[in-house]
Amino acid sequence: MTQTDPTGITISAFQDLIRERYFASDSARGTAGTFLYLAEEFGELATALAANNRPGKPPTDAERANLEEEFADVLAWLATLANINRVDLAQTLIKYTDPTRVNGVKD
């Protein structure tokens, strides 16, 4: 897979990239072990969000960079979990992209 513009990557291309790079070790670890890694990344994202949203104290450049890294890590582990459970993330997004299925907002 060749991806020349990382900012223009599709969900499918990203999931394929994660599969190509990590599927052997990810599938050997299994769903339970992989979910634990995803949960750990959610915790790290929560910490980064807190550091970037302190009232009256803007985030440092390092804190902002860490926040972006943690979002990427969560996406990567989610793609990993989808791959080892044979779920096509792009296909699942129809829940949100089909206007006949999206009704209302969550408060």
Quick: pLDDT tens for 30-81. Answer: 999 999 999 999 999 999 999 999 999 999 999 999 999 999 999 999 999 9
- Which domain, by its residues, includes 63? 29-96
pLDDT reported for residue 24? 95
Q: Is the pLDDT of residue 96 over 90?
A: no
User: Between these two residues, 55 and 96, which has the higher pLDDT value?
Assistant: 55
Average pLDDT over every residue of 100-105: 74
**Does residue 13 belong to any structural domain of this protein?**
no
pLDDT reported for residue 107? 67
**Does residue 14 belong to any structural domain of this protein?**
no
**Does residue 15 belong to any structural domain of this protein?**
no
DSSP codes of every residue in the chain = ---S-GGG--HHHHHHHHHHHHHHHHHHHHHHHHHHHHHHHHHHHHHHHHHH-BTTBPPPHHHHHHHHHHHHHHHHHHHHHHHHTT--HHHHTHHHH-TTT--S---
Average pLDDT over every residue of 11-37: 97
Read off the pLDDT band of 1 (50, 70, 90). very low
Q: How many structural domains does the chain have? A: 1
Q: Is the pLDDT of residue 106 over 80?
A: no
Check which CATH number belongs to the domain holding 47 and give it: 1.10.287.1080
